[in-house]
Structure 1
């Protein structure tokens, strides 16, 4: 009996030791000192542990349409080009890129590389995937129009067949892409996940199961998935068959799906993850932590106006709303995460002219004024519409951050514009988007993340009939200038057109109300190096990341 009791006691001790070890209990208050991916000897195992806010919607590059999927695809696959550490396009699967004298025909030589099943990556894989996007009307098929690929618009309009898209595999190593017009942004656009290749034989073998599990998709990028537990997380491992594997230092990346800010913070505090984003309410508690930092991002927040609304279709009413908002108060109080006030539709410190000057500084602060000026335009607008008050509602996502912003805006506008009343209508994110798309709102608190690294990604969304133009804004002269800028190969002249477009949209037409340039407050272990975060397209590249 004594021996049985002793054995039971020893087992109990072993279980408790393992439990405590698994929870990684620590009395350290300096979260930056917690290790990442290391063993007992202190030698790094090169394992990074991060979170995502949602499940991977799809691993099919022809269907992907969100940042989570884009990031996974960016790290498990490789297109002709990819973004480098400075967010510039560099050749990836393309070993050589030649163009005709008129810049309409682009010929790419495909480098020697393998899919994770051992098959060679060929030019046919690109032709197949690109035409598949057009055949299935993928979410980002318009990127082929933006790139100017021959017949893309005609295919979308139903006038031509997807097989007539201007892309052809001349042989296994040669891909020819024909454009309808010269495009100075082609290399930049080719970094986008919609332009990734697919192995046709494997895709057809998987059928309707393709890309639904980690082993139902192939990789030709720096990493491949070794596990995918739906709604819980996934694991990347280094891809030994990647053509540039010698420059990939991480052995593994563990990703946890965390939808609650507090849960993510608890995981970080307990040493389970190496990086976490903070909500506005948590920032003040950690701003003195050595691991704390803020980053200003390229995404923007703004107000959309239903331009069919009896009051909001009045330019002076919209101008008054713009000028009445204390944007610094909005970013400092309601957001508190590194976001900055925005007085334009193109954010600062991301996009530069051929002369290396920041777009935002070149165009200056637009729609900036005082409360007194706001009241003057407000009174003028009320007189023009024959009203002494205006009642509207604001469409927002049902999340803490959006609610705080809406309450701040409500207070600002109702206190500074006599007779203005605004009701807050909070709905789930997906429903907010559907309400916007159907233009069944008065004002909508909206956001936009750039698809590619150029000011045009913020400007061409307002073209008449664009899927991103969700307020019935229409200006024929604006449309013509966008089309002209798309075909202008003189970069200096093109940039002047982009600057003009922003002024037409905001100063002349007051089509929207820019609010803020997004920010991010994070805690991140100091030994994580070269974690590349992009302003557009996929959020992260792990190819050059390592644990010091």
Structure 2
């Protein structure tokens, strides 16, 4: 989320965490919930979304071939899937279902959606996930027509997908919103407004979204009466509001207006190990992106100095929660390789750059300044405006200015949606970001930093890295894939292409009455959620 999802998408953990659902205490309907979120919706267009807030809305109001559950996946619109012996052809049979305007969801809706996303004119940041599907790369490079994409409809309810090479993680991708169907009639009807508000969208999932204007901080999901599996949907309504501080969410929890919340440092200490406390690994890493189009940050010595001057252990203590100091870009605990965590395969020497070493930081700093012919510099750090993001920015500002003589850090904190826009347009120097894996494979992280990836906002480039990532996608040999990816990540870390800060782990307090929710990498699935009496 994959993003990734995620892709998030880039604010500090507590700010992005969604504060969980709540029963309306004063209403007659016991299956109405109030839910607090830490950030705004950016879009409801599956081709263009990049953050977990938007993806959570799509997962609950739309549906693709599969749906993520606690362990793996369950069928969504796919009733069966057959794979050819060579692993290059998938045939999906689809169940009968409807869009909210009453028209049937058919295989053609998948064909239209996928073609729309890979079309360069759409400028979809997640289009790279289609790489490996026949002709996807050539289409995105303008070398083949969109109609040549390896997907076709056979009748109304059979979908055939052709790959150029085996993709070990192909089925995992099918539960991600960028691969959901889209109703062509709705896209054409709404034009540029498509996905910019609740009313400019078509839905086929468990819920219908209502009341989001495109900029407001409250909206609802209401049960979809035409959903194919509506008997499994217990909730009638979920009301969402944006709360950017944990203290505000806690006050709502105390007054029984919400039934769960993401915890900040103080609340984590207060409720850890108590009833209702949950620690939810989200497969995410918070890190600094460094814009190498800035001459100062094009220096690997300056980048390394910045990394070595950060006391990650102190920072996670300041922020609280269950975050862990990071020494890799890929989140710890995401993937296991023969019983060992994938991150253990990464070069130890590369990981040492992400330990607090102030003396070594000064050496790299002075070397970098000497190369640039400077005695100091000013750098701006862009963050979101949540409490947690601001606190992170302030802590990093203090650490870097204290340990790197001649460095001045200014911090700019803006609304989440604005931060995403500035980051995507390259209008930043340092940017506090996070990435939450769209699926449980390191490629969800590492592909982002290939030279041609639209999400490589810092413009870091390395040809050997690109080769290794390409090789890892061109085989189903998992041992070979992990070797290639760990070598690539060692190259990335050795050059400080990004500066990992901490691995994210969500701390939650959830009332026992709220049941049936599923959280996968910070994206919440409410299909089977309910409030017990």
**TM-score of the two chains, using structure 2 as the length reference:** 0.83
Q: 2:340 aligns with which of 357, 381, 391?
A: 357
d(CA) in 2 for partners of 1:106, 1:544: 28
Q: Are 1:448 and 2:432 counterparts?
A: no
What's the CA shift for 1:172?
0.8
User: Which residue in 2 is equivalent to 1:545?
Assistant: 529
User: Which residue in 2 is equivalent to 1:104?
Assistant: 88
Q: Cα distance 1:264–1:379, how it changes in 2: closer, same or farther (>3 A)?
A: closer
Q: Cα distance 1:69–1:442, how it changes in 2: closer, same or farther (>3 A)?
A: closer
Q: Which runs of 5+ in 2 are unaligned?
A: 1-20
The answer (yes or no) to whether the contact 1:39–1:45 under 8 Å persists in 2 is: no
Q: Cα distance 1:139–1:546, how it changes in 2: closer, same or farther (>3 A)?
A: farther
What's the CA shift for 1:473?
1.8
The answer (yes or no) to whether the contact 1:222–1:242 under 8 Å persists in 2 is: yes
Matches within 5 A, 1:168-317: 168-201=152-185, 203-204=187-188, 214=198, 217-225=201-209, 228=212, 231-259=216-244, 261-280=246-265, 290-307=275-292, 312-317=297-302
3-state SS, counterpart of residue 221 of structure 1: coil
Matches within 5 A, 1:73-92: 73-86=58-71, 88-92=72-76
Matches within 5 A, 1:419-434: 419-428=405-414, 429=416, 432-433=419-420
Q: Deviations over 1:481-501 (max 9, x none)?
A: 111111111112111211111
What's the CA shift for 1:189?
1.3
Q: Which runs of 5+ in 1 are unaligned?
A: 1-33
User: Which residue in 1 is equivalent to 2:464?
Assistant: 477
d(CA) in 1 for partners of 2:48, 2:431: 27
- More deviation, 473-482/221-230: 221-230
The answer (yes or no) to whether the contact 1:36–1:525 under 8 Å persists in 2 is: no
d(CA) in 2 for partners of 1:171, 1:363: 48
Q: Are 1:458 and 2:445 counterparts?
A: yes
The answer (yes or no) to whether the contact 1:134–1:141 under 8 Å persists in 2 is: no
The answer (yes or no) to whether the contact 1:311–1:390 under 8 Å persists in 2 is: no
What's the CA shift for 1:421?
1.9
User: Which residue in 2 is equivalent to 1:390?
Assistant: 376
What's the CA shift for 1:50?
0.6
- More deviation, 457-466/406-415: 406-415
Q: Cα distance 1:318–1:542, how it changes in 2: closer, same or farther (>3 A)?
A: same
Q: Cα distance 1:373–1:184, how it changes in 2: closer, same or farther (>3 A)?
A: same
d(CA) in 2 for partners of 1:217, 1:404: 36
What's the CA shift for 1:240?
4.0
Higher relative contact order (CA 8 A, sep 6+): 2
d(CA) in 2 for partners of 1:120, 1:288: 48
- More deviation, 250-259/281-290: 281-290
d(CA) in 2 for partners of 1:511, 1:375: 16
Matches within 5 A, 1:48-127: 48-86=33-71, 88-127=72-111
Q: Deviations over 1:194-238 (max 9, x none)?
A: 111133345555666655665654432222336557625333233
Q: 2:389 aligns with which of 402, 417, 420?
A: 402
Q: Cα distance 1:296–1:413, how it changes in 2: closer, same or farther (>3 A)?
A: same
User: Which residue in 1 is equivalent to 2:498?
Assistant: 512
The answer (yes or no) to whether the contact 2:130–2:136 under 8 Å persists in 1 is: no
Q: Deviations over 1:353-375 (max 9, x none)?
A: 3x343223444761244536525
d(CA) in 2 for partners of 1:182, 1:462: 22
3-state SS, counterpart of residue 103 of structure 1: coil
User: Which residue in 1 is equivalent to 2:479?
Assistant: 492
d(CA) in 2 for partners of 1:212, 1:380: 48
Q: Deviations over 1:58-104 (max 9, x none)?
A: 43333433322221111122111221213x34432111212233322
The answer (yes or no) to whether the contact 1:114–1:242 under 8 Å persists in 2 is: yes
3-state SS, counterpart of residue 523 of structure 1: strand
Q: Are 1:341 and 2:328 counterparts?
A: no
User: Which residue in 2 is equivalent to 1:374?
Assistant: 360
d(CA) in 1 for partners of 2:128, 2:92: 17
d(CA) in 2 for partners of 1:393, 1:280: 28
The answer (yes or no) to whether the contact 2:343–2:486 under 8 Å persists in 1 is: no
3-state SS, counterpart of residue 410 of structure 2: strand
Structure (1 or 2) with the larger CA radius of gyration: 1
Q: Deviations over 1:443-470 (max 9, x none)?
A: 4333223333321121112211322223
Q: Cα distance 1:290–1:391, how it changes in 2: closer, same or farther (>3 A)?
A: same
d(CA) in 1 for partners of 2:122, 2:181: 14
What's the CA shift for 1:381?
2.5
d(CA) in 2 for partners of 1:540, 1:167: 29
d(CA) in 2 for partners of 1:394, 1:92: 45
d(CA) in 2 for partners of 1:316, 1:55: 37
**TM-score of the two chains, using structure 1 as the length reference:** 0.81
What's the CA shift for 1:476?
0.9
3-state SS, counterpart of residue 49 of structure 1: strand
d(CA) in 2 for partners of 1:232, 1:388: 45
Tell me the matched-pair count.
506
d(CA) in 2 for partners of 1:152, 1:168: 14
3-state SS, counterpart of residue 159 of structure 1: coil
3-state SS, counterpart of residue 171 of structure 1: coil
Q: Cα distance 1:216–1:345, how it changes in 2: closer, same or farther (>3 A)?
A: closer
Q: Deviations over 1:163-218 (max 9, x none)?
A: 23221111112111122222111111121111111333455556666556656544
